Structure 1
Amino acid sequence: MTDCGVTIIEEFSRAPKRVIEGFEGLATANIADVMGRFRAMDFTIKSMNKLGVHLVGSALTIRVHPTDNLMVHKAMDLAKPGDVLVIDAFGGNENAIVGELICQYAKIKGISGIVTNSPIRDVYAINKLEFPVYAKGATPRGPLKEGSGEVNTTISCGMVPVHPGDIIVGDDDGIVVIPKEAAETVLEKTRHIQEKEQFVIENMMKTGKWERAWVDEVLCQKGYFSLQNNE
Structure 2
Amino acid sequence: MALTQDARAVLEQITTATLTTILLKKGLRNVWIRGAMPLRDDRTRLVGEAFTLRFVPAREDLATPASWASPISTRAAIEAMPEGCIAVIDAMGIADAGVFGDILCARMAKRGVTAMITDGVVRDLGGVLDTGLPVWCRGAAAPPSVAGLTFVGWQETVGCGGVAVIPGDVIVADRDGAVVIPQALLDEVVSEAPAQEKLEGWIIDEVGRGAVLPGLYPMNAETLARYEAWLETEEGKA
| TM-score of the pair, normalised by structure 2 | 0.76
Instruction: Give the percent of matched residue pairs that are identical in Structure 1 and Structure 2.
Output: 24
The counterpart of 1:22, out of the listed 2, 10, 19, is 10
| Cα RMSD (Å) | 2.7
SS at match of 2:146: coil
Deviation of 1:84 (Å): 0.7
Q: Which amino acid aligns with 1:38?
A: N
Over 3 Å counting, the alpha-carbon distance change for 1:27 and 1:100 in structure 2 is same
Per the alignment, residue 185 of structure 2 pairs with: 182
Q: Which amino acid aligns with 2:83?
A: P
Distance in 2 between residues matched to 1:90 and 1:30, nearest whole Å? 27
Per the alignment, residue 99 of structure 1 pairs with: 101
Distance in 2 between residues matched to 1:148 and 1:88, nearest whole Å? 10
Deviation of 1:65 (Å): 3.0
Distance in 2 between residues matched to 1:215 and 1:80, nearest whole Å? 42
Q: Which amino acid aligns with 1:40?
A: W
Deviation of 1:31 (Å): 0.4
Asked if 2 retains the 8 angstrom alpha-carbon contact of 1:66 and 1:94, the reply is no
Per the alignment, residue 229 of structure 2 pairs with: none
Distance in 2 between residues matched to 1:23 and 1:217, nearest whole Å? 25
Distance in 2 between residues matched to 1:72 and 1:134, nearest whole Å? 18
Deviation of 1:102 (Å): 1.4
Distance in 2 between residues matched to 1:127 and 1:64, nearest whole Å? 23
The counterpart of 1:81, out of the listed 83, 89, 92, is 83
Distance in 1 between residues matched to 2:97 and 2:159, nearest whole Å? 18
Superposed CA deviations along residues 40-59 of structure 1, whole A, max 9, x for unmatched, are: 112x2221123334221110
Pair 1:60-2:51 in alignment = yes
The counterpart of 2:42, out of the listed 51, 54, 69, is 51
Per the alignment, residue 172 of structure 1 pairs with: 175
Distance in 2 between residues matched to 1:52 and 1:105, nearest whole Å? 20
The counterpart of 1:152, out of the listed 149, 155, 159, is 155
Q: Which amino acid aligns with 1:183?
A: L
Distance in 2 between residues matched to 1:55 and 1:158, nearest whole Å? 18
| TM-score of the pair, normalised by structure 1 | 0.78
Distance in 1 between residues matched to 2:176 and 2:54, nearest whole Å? 24
Per the alignment, residue 231 of structure 2 pairs with: none
Deviation of 1:216 (Å): 10
Superposed CA deviations along residues 106-155 of structure 1, whole A, max 9, x for unmatched, are: 11111001111211112223233332111122101112399551211111
SS at match of 1:144: helix
Per the alignment, residue 41 of structure 1 pairs with: 33
Any gaps of 5 or more consecutive residues in structure 1? Answer: 1-12, 219-231
